[in-house]
Structure 1
């Protein structure tokens, strides 16, 4: 209750809220009439003296149209104010007050300027008329003060309200401009950071290419030279691993060059892989001497699998092949790709070595299975593995997966399970 009363008083004090102001004028006029505080009616309006209340309602009704047509609303209230004064009702002064307030609150600048001129002329004419009729300068001055109270007080009040609104609007526009400038500044900083990151990544890729390409080229050249030696030509068991070494080193050089080009072009799709390359990938490891039983169960077409899912499955199979070559090269690997409901499943299984592999095992960075898990989770899939008796891995990739946020960092070197 107290809150509602405070809100009502605040709206009344502003003077620009039509329902509260109109209701206040009606109540005040009723109180004046009930208290017999009225003027004698003008002779020509004597027959209409008893109709003051409908005239008052028609006069205050014009307040509800002042926001769309302030000048017409003010003229309407002025006409009914004069009619109320002619009927002897003091409520006419309220309507005159509100007519001037409306002009200076809502009307355009030319209307306000001409209204000021007219009000000044009317005040001077009224003072001159009273002085000519009475010959009393004090009464003429009193007329000026009364006119000033009735006509100029609402003018000053409306100007204060208008100024406050303009200041609030200006402050709101300034705050919006500051917010927009801050947003633009943030976008600029983000763009600069992104450009700097791309530049750093490109420089890092160049350094990586310069450092590793020479070593991979040496491996390719040396393995190619060995392939031409007489003992290698005669022994197929030596030729197959050397051909695999050469093909892998050449492929590594091509992928490194593609990565540098990708960073220059800003297109990650340049390094995407597809499932059609899986048989060739498996064959390259089989040619190196690994025992791999690879099967693809029909039930899906490449057009059904999104590109990012195909790339993730290809990289996963490669990680599993490298992982097996490092840690269990003498054991058979069973590798399967099949569809189950709305997911593609990659499953790998091999017995654990009965003794350490001293000759062929290579120490990795320990990131292979982490990479596989990260790729599955990025596509909202599932990863599971175990190695108590036999080592097995199962990865599920949804056919309609959407890339999910992840904080995992993929590393190209594979490590221990």
Structure 2
């Protein structure tokens, strides 16, 4: 069965579309597209926020007397009528700072009424009709404010109504009309395009600033997650090592210790099975965390025993650094050990990147239940440009995350002489009290 080509759309469809467009235009004219906030309300300086009020006050105070004078002297309108028309046509200019569309609803009918009133006056040679010179200039300010604040649909509707009103008045008195209707229509188009362009450019800049803010927040969150994942991998390695030790000790206990009862052997077997199962679960988790395939991170994590090598490598790289490491730090947990090394490593890397050649002092001490890591550098001795003018923030984020996860505190910031300080306090376990047997032997 063949199908005939589609014909023209039915008339009721065109009428429905026309009615829908008219409803949208009417809605645009009756509903403002912005909150009742004044223009430049978000400006950083107070004089900028007050500028729109000063402009509209100057416009109203200028156009009211000028309109009265023009209507009386040039068109011969009575003083009372001229004053009423001037107030209706110019006083709403005070609303342009925050409600330009409402101001247009007052000024536009007042301008039409003024043109009708002028029809009763005698025609002079140099009279401009239907729009007087003050009406043309004042109306352009109204259109500019509408273009800066309203949507494109509202702007187009205002412009078309202006042209329609001018055309109707021209047809009413063609012998008196001398082109001011067309002049306002053309100048209004230019002013509306300028206002709409400025508004759309401002909105584009605002959206770009919002997007940059969102991107910066996402970047910071991604940095935080990456550092947390790295810390989780390192902590996982530490815990996995201890779980492996527990498994081996539990498995070998029946062979190393003679005379164990059967209940103790079963208990050691259960401990070994539980540890082995937990170790398997942790290794599966580790494979997920290491899904990026970085095999280099499978090496044992460095600790305080390698800080000396780290400082020596930094000195060989051209950074004058010295290390003060306490001889007896006591028992340092593995998580604190790794975190302290990473903090020193990142602090030295920051000095190399941002203050090449600066003298740096690294101090690691233990006392009062805390391990204190202090890295202080002076300003760069030579006026050389840093290797990196801007940082990504990964280093400080990683330091804070490591210190927070271990329950410590971190203090970073510039020094008065232009240097920089990184100070971390990481908690240490309380010292074990000597057993009673050792005390008796010593006594």
TM-score (norm 2): 0.41
Q: Which has the higher helix share?
A: 1
TM-score (norm 1): 0.43
